[in-house]
Amino acid sequence: MNITRIYYFTGTGNSLAVAKKIAEDTNAELIGIPSACKNPQPIPKDASVGIVYPLYAGGLPNMVVRFLQSVSLADAGYVFFVATEGGQMGAPASQIQRLSSAAGHAADACWWIQMPDNYIPLSAPPAIPEQKAMYDAARHKAAAIAEQVINREKHIEKMGFAGKLMGLAYGPFIKALPKSDEKFIISSSCTKCGICVSVCPAENISLADQGKHLWHHRCEGCLACLHFCPEEAINIGKKTELRSRYRHPSASVSDMLQQKK
Ligand X SMILES: Cc1cc2nc3c(=O)[nH]c(=O)nc-3n(C[C@H](O)[C@H](O)[C@H](O)COP(=O)(O)O)c2cc1C
- Residues engaged in binding ligand X (CB under 6 A): 10-15, 54-58, 84-87, 89, 115, 117-119, 166, 221-223
Q: Which is closer to ligand SF4, CB of 108 or CB of 181?
A: 181
Phi, psi of 32, rounded to the nearest 5 degrees:
-70, 140
Query: Shortest approach of ligand SF4 to residue 115 CB, angstroms?
Result: 17
Q: Are strands 234-236 and 184-186 parallel, antiparallel or unpaired?
A: antiparallel
CA 81, CA 98: separation in Å to the nearest integer?
13
CA 243, CA 261: separation in Å to the nearest integer?
31
Query: Shortest approach of ligand SF4 to residue 256 CB, angstroms?
Result: 9
Query: Shortest approach of ligand SF4 to residue 198 CB, angstroms?
Result: 8
Q: Which is closer to ligand X, CB of 101 or CB of 250?
A: 250
Residues that bind ligand SF4 (CB under 6 A): 11, 181, 186, 190-196, 199-202, 204-205, 219-225, 229, 231, 233-234
Query: Shortest approach of ligand SF4 to residue 112 CB, angstroms?
Result: 22
Q: Which is closer to ligand X, CB of 78 or CB of 246?
A: 246
CA 173, CA 163: separation in Å to the nearest integer?
14
Distance, C-alpha 128 to centroid of its chain: 21
CA 132, CA 233: separation in Å to the nearest integer?
26
Q: Which is closer to ligand SF4, CB of 149 or CB of 234?
A: 234
Of 94, 89, 71, residue with least CA distance to 156 = 94
